[in-house]
Structure formats: structure tokens, C-alpha cells
Structure 1
Amino acid sequence: MAAAAPTTRLTVGTAVHDDYDGAYFTLLSLRLHHPEAAGRVDLLVVDGDPDGPAGAGLRALEGTVPGLRYVPAGHVRGSALRDLVVREARTEWVLCVDAHVLLAPGALAGLLAYADEHPYSRDLLHGPLLGDDLRGVRTHLDPVFDGASFGTWGRDPRGTDPGAPPFEIGMQDLGLFACRTEVWPGLNPRLRGAGAEVGPLHKRFRAAGARALCLPFLRWTRRSVRPPGTAVPVETADRCRDHLLAWEEAGLAVEPVVDHYRETCGDVVDAWVAEHAAERGHPLDEFDALVCVSADAEAHRWVAAHRRFRRLGIAGRVRRLPAPAVPGEPAAGHALAHRTAVAQARQRRLRHVLVFEDDVVFCHDATSVLRAHVAELADRRWTVCRFGGSAVAYHARVFDRLLDELPGGEEEMRAWVGRHGGLERFCARRFADTFVRLSPAVTSREPADPGVRTGAYGALPLGVR
């Protein structure tokens, strides 16, 4: 009896931020140098800057590169882009590569063969990185800080022979990694930059009973210098906080992180550590994402809101979400903005998202009140939670239903608002059993003219709920 044809499919995805050239040559090399794998591979680009200089060009590749799917993701950056590559994959296996990575001939076919032979693998897979001379081999990272990065290059002789069997390693650079999509543990959405997950991610795989493996045949190389510079600079303070967060999540002691940054940056690190601890201890840390809707045309409102977020101790976590302008129908703009926040949260597989308007004001002793409310929510099966004026949270339980029922176009939303009377009124009726209004309220709206309340969408009559 003839052996069954292999059926495993693989997504090769790349996370990009303003790097058309890198993504282009990675994609074309996959097509040109790995034709034997073409029938079993989907290509994916996740673009972290779809409105930037490279966005239009990257989007156009979807129409010229067979099998390529383009996913705009301007709301995420850094490590979140890699996480989104895995979550957007529609196949059993995923291979995530940085834009500008090139695979050695035969590497992709070898990975597919490995996947066929290990259909229930729970491991995180890597391969040796080749130098520019294509002879030097780096098989893993040793657990030592090197500048702002954790890990220094190491070489295991077992990785110099492409025909050698796989072997276990401690950790490796995430410029290339592969796994079955269903075993991916996800990356913490609170990470602000990229790279801090190297090491802690491998620890999390091991804690789940899996391994980090080097597959000697899965050889790759990448551009070692980018003359224009890094597309997304990351503040040293944010990098330190990312390392603290990733190490804590993996159950690792953070003293080596603190000692390293204190040695390189001085006593200012003590303030960073304190800010990180305060942020992690804040009751709103329970929510996977915090966004504030604010109009581009009213930048002063975002500045004022950001000051209020800073006083509450959450400024580092709140991301600004541009408010759509819908002339003559501010309630439609309100609903469209919240729909966008929910769609982005669902795309990232978040558990919930808390949406503020830029006129939000917090009550006296808000942190203590929030702590009691958040503890209460943990014991309730809620879907939509109104914190007071200008603040509402949505749980993943309701993401699909909201996105199915709320139209995404301006004119359609105008008509929808006319039928339903606004988003809050709709949610209160549709999800009556799980719609929560916190009492006492934690937030209110910034005082405005009598009879009118304002927000990111312009003036809203008080009757609109």
C-alpha cells in the first residue's frame, strides 16, 4: 500500500514595521529558493505600520505574490507583532521569521518533513543562524546579558552538520522560530518593545512539559546591519520594564535584571522598578488592554487625559485610539471607535479591553474603589461593564457578537444608531443579564456646557445613552 501523501500545512509569517525591502526579499526568497514546499505553505505579512512609508508597497504584494495574505496591525508593535503572526496563522504549524531573514535551501522542506513526523509536537523549534560568510554557525544563546539584550551567541558543535539530529537548547533568538499553533502560549500584551521574551518564553514552554530544540537543518541568515537604523526605537526604561514583566511571568527571579540595568544605567533603575511594581499592582492591570479614544483634531484633549492617566498610575499602559469623525452624528463615531477597539482586541485574542473617552475624570480615591470593583468582577460572568461616564470595558465573551451586529461603515453606522439609540443603550438591552454598571461609579465626564456632554466625538446631547 502506498504511503499517504503528507498533509501538514505551514504558515510562514513575517512581522514587519516599515521595512519593505526586508519583507520583499524574504518573501521572494521563499518562493524562489523553496519551490518544493510551495504547495504546502501559506505566506503571511503582519504590518505594524500600515499607514507608514512601506505600507502601500507591502499591501500591494498581496496581489503579486501567490499565497500571500497581508494583515494590517497598526495598533500593535514590538513583540505583539510576532504574537499576532502566530495567532493569524490558519494552519497547524507556523514558522515566524523577521523581515530580512533568508532560509537555506532545503530548510523549509525539512521543517515540513519534521512536522509530518511529529504531528503532536509541543516543542518550540529553532535553527542555527549563519553568519554573512555562510560558514559561521550560532546554535543558541547563552543566558548572559549583553547590553540591552539577554543572551550572548553560543555554538554547539552538533549544530554544524545539517544532517545531525535535533538537540535541546536553553534559548535562541526569535528571529526564527516554529511550533504548532495550538501550543503557542502567547506573549503578554503589556510588553511594549521586542526581545524581552527571549529566555522567558523558552522557560514557559519547558514549564508546560515541552522543549526548545535546535533543528540543524533549519539554517537561516539575516541582515546584520540596517543603515537607516531601527524602525521602532524603544526607551531603555521600557526595555527594563519588559524584562521585569517577562521574567516575572515565567517565574524567574528578577534580581539579575535589576542588577544588570543598575550596572548600566545607574540609580534611575530603582525608580523604573518602583513604577513597574506600582503598575503591576494597580487594579486596572487586570485588563489586557487600555485604550483612550481621542480625535486627531483635538490633541489638547489627549494631553489633558494623559495627565489624568498619569495621576492614576496607568499612563504607560493607555494607548491612544484615533476617533473617527462622523459629521452630524457623533454617536455613530462613538460606536465606530468602540467597534475598532473590540476588533483589535479580538485580533490579538485578548480577554478584555477597557475603553476610555478623552474627557474621562476619575473619582476621589479611584484606585481603592477600582480594587474593590475589579475583585467583584472576577466572580461575575460579565460581558460589558460601565465604570461610569466615559469608561466601558468589553469582555472577550462579547467580541464576536458585537462585531457581528455593529456595522463597520460610516453610513451603515448612522442608520444603526438611528435604530438602536446608541451603543450603550444597545448593549444594556442586548446583554441585559451580563451588563454591569459599577456602583459607586469610578469615572465621570469632564464638566462641559450645561445640557451638553463632550467627548472624542464632539458634543453629545445628554439624552444619548
Structure 2
Amino acid sequence: MSKVTLGMSTYDDFDGVYFSCQGNRLLHPILDLDGEIIVIDNNPNSSHGAATKHFCNKSKFIKYIPFTKYQGTAVRSELFNYSKSEIVICIDSHVLLAPGAIDAVVKYLSLEQTDSPILVQGPRLYDNLSHCSLKWLNIWSATMLGKWAPTIPVDTIGNEAFEIENQGLGAFACRRKEWLGLNPLFRGFGGEEGYIQRKYQLAGGKVVCIPEFKWIHRFDRPNGIPYRCNLKDRLFNYFLGAFELKLSTDSIVENFRALLSDFHVRAIFKEALKAYNKSKTDSSLKLDNSGEN
């Protein structure tokens, strides 16, 4: 068993996958010495998919997994089913981890012995590399429940891990056996931030920010977003997550009524509730929250 898996899911982002894999291998020798990289391709039959498969299959350190059972950013949860490592670090397919980041995660999770699940996150670096955001604030920002905390200089964040409530999911980590899972009925993009952190907290666990676990994310997409990304899917995910975690939907309704008609908000509420109720009786849709994947 390897010590650590670096995993990512992708949808028509060959360039991102290439540089995320190669850049992180160059920056983090542990990936070749005692680790593996897993790439889950959510659109393997495209030209990007073919290029990604060809690239991954040239390296003994990278495992390529085509996956078409469902589509959306929640596919990243499947990484924990394919990994054989003790620790899994999940990144977007266009993220670089700062030098020392992986070693810091491995050290923290190896030393922090507890029966409660821990989700590890880190500061998001800005493109100037001198400033970062340590967390998301739990407030609505247009279509997302979460807003980057004010930027601060990197050299002011200290060295000690500390608890946070929320953070973007461009990079996160946990022990494989402690992964609590994203709802497999999530679709498209959005609704995962805040949901997965709250899930750990409700399970008696915690979300921590490790200052050394810094990551930088490519946001610009000059060729456009290739995957399905719309407000109705995002609202569905927020409702579904709230039903699963038994949280109030009041703030969700209030926020999206400014973006969609009352008719659509009510219809999506009913659709998500129906899907949630079905998931409670359909074993193929149930989450395995034991962490033993």
C-alpha cells in the first residue's frame, strides 16, 4: 500500500491534467517514491479524453480511470473507491500544490490520532503567490454559499493547523477510511463546498487548515466551460445536501428566488426532495458513510 494518493477528476481538460500531474510530481518527490496519481476522466470519449488516456498510460505512476456512470464535479468522490493509499489528496485538474504541501498533510494525518474524521484543507494562493485566502466565509455570494475570506500576506499565516468552517474544494485531503462521501445524486457543478465540511462537523469531526498545504488554482477558461454548469443543477444540489444533512432550506430559497422564478425554485425543491426520499430506499443510491470504500 502506498502512503498517499494524489487524485483528480477531469472533463475535457488535458492541458490541466498534464501540468497538474507533471508539476506536482516535480514538486513532490513522495508521489514517485511512496505514492500514486489517479485521474478519473468524466468524458473519456472526447479528443481530450484520448490525449489524457495516452499521457497517463505512459507513466507507471499514474492510473487512468474512465468514468461515465454520472457527470459532474461530485465524480471526484469516486477517487476514494479507486485509491489504495492510507491518505488521499484530491485536487481539481488544474491545481498545483506548493512545495512541502503533501509532506505537511502526510505528517499531520500521521501524527493526529483520533477516532473522529478529519478533513484537511489549506490556504488558496493567489496568482501573485504572495497573498492567500485561508477559508470561505459562510455567506451567499451570488450563486454560491461561500465567499473567499479577505486576502492576507502568506508570510503572516503562521505554522500551526487551525479549525475552519468552510473552504473551496480545489484541494482537500483526508484518510481514505475517513472519507464521508459526496452525494452521488449531485449533478453539474456546485453545492459541494459547505456541504462536505458540514458533514464532517455533524459526524463529530473537524475541518482544519494546514498553513503549509497551500494550493494555486487556474480559474480562467478562454475556451469556455466544457461541462454542464447551470443554476438549476446547483439549486438541486443545495436542496439535496440540505435534505441529507437535515438542515434548513430557508436561506437557499431566499437566495435563489432572486435568480430564478418562484415556479422553478418550487419545482426543483420538489424534484430534490423526491430524489432524496428515493435514495433512502434504493440501496444503489445510498451513501457509504463508513469510510471503508
CA–CA separation in structure 2 for the residues paired with 1:84 and 1:9: 18
Counterpart check, 1:108 vs 2:96: no
1:274 aligned partner: 270
Deviation at 1:100, TM superposition (A): 0.7
Q: Would you say how many aligned residue pairs link Structure 1 and Structure 2?
A: 287
What is the aligned partner in structure 1 of residue 38 from structure 2?
Answer: 44
Higher relative contact order (CA closer than 8 Å, sequence separation 6+): 2
For 2:5, give the aligned amino acid: T
Rate the CA distance shift 1:218–1:161 in 2: closer, same or farther, 3 A.
farther
| 1:83 counterpart (37, 54, 77) | 77
* One-letter identity of the residue aligned with 1:102: L
- Rounded to whole Å, the distance in 1 between the matches of 2:109 and 2:280 is 38
Q: How does 1:387-426 map to 2 (within 5 A)?
A: none
CA distance in 2, matches of 1:158, 1:211: 25
Aligned mates of 1:33, 1:267 — CA distance in 2:
50
TM-aligned CA distance change 1:65 to 1:194, over 3 Å = same
1:26: which partner in 2? 20
- Change in Cα spacing, 1:115 to 1:271, as seen in structure 2 (3 Å) is closer
Closer/same/farther in 2, CA of residues 76 and 272 from structure 1, 3 Å limit:
closer
Aligned match of 1:148:
143
Paired with 2:62 and 2:10, the residues of 1 have a C-alpha distance of 14
**In structure 2, what is the equivalent of residue 63 of structure 1?**
57
1:207-245 deviation line (CA, Å, top 9, x unaligned): 111111110001110112011111212332221111000
RMSD after superposition: 2.5
User: Residue type matched to 1:247 in 2?
Assistant: A
Give a deviation string over 1:125-171, Cα, whole Å, max 9, x none.
00100111111201111111222221000148697546510011011
In structure 2, distance between residues paired with 1:9 and 1:274: 44
d(CA) in 2 for partners of 1:128, 1:27? 20
Counterpart residue type for residue 63 of structure 2: R
Whole-Å separation in 1 of the counterparts to 2:10 and 2:230: 20
* Partner Cα distance (1:158, 1:117) in 2: 28
1:96 lines up with 2:56 in the alignment: no
Mapped pair 1:209 → 2:204 = yes
Query: Larger deviation: 164-173 or 54-63?
Result: 54-63
Cα pair 2:12 2:46 within 8 Å, conserved: yes
Query: Can you give the 5+ residue segments of structure 2 that lack an aligned partner in the other structure?
Result: none
- Which moved further from structure 2: 100-109 or 21-30? 100-109
**1:278: Cα distance to partner?**
4.0
Cα distance in 2 for residues equivalent to 1:142 and 1:209: 21
Give me the whole-angstrom Cα distance separating, in 2, the residues matched to 1:56 and 1:211: 39
- Larger Rg over CA atoms: 1
Question: Match of 1:38, as an amino acid?
Answer: D
1:126 counterpart = 2:153: no
Matched with 1:303 is none
- Residue type of the partner of 2:53? R
Which position in structure 1 is the counterpart of 2:68? Answer: 74
| Equivalent residue for 1:9, pick from 3, 6, 23 | 3
Where does residue 251 of structure 2 map in the other structure? 256
* Structure 1: gaps (5+ residues): 1-6, 291-344, 351-465
Residue 228 of structure 2: which of 229, 233, 246 is its match?
A: 233
Between the aligned residues of both structures, percent identity stands at 30
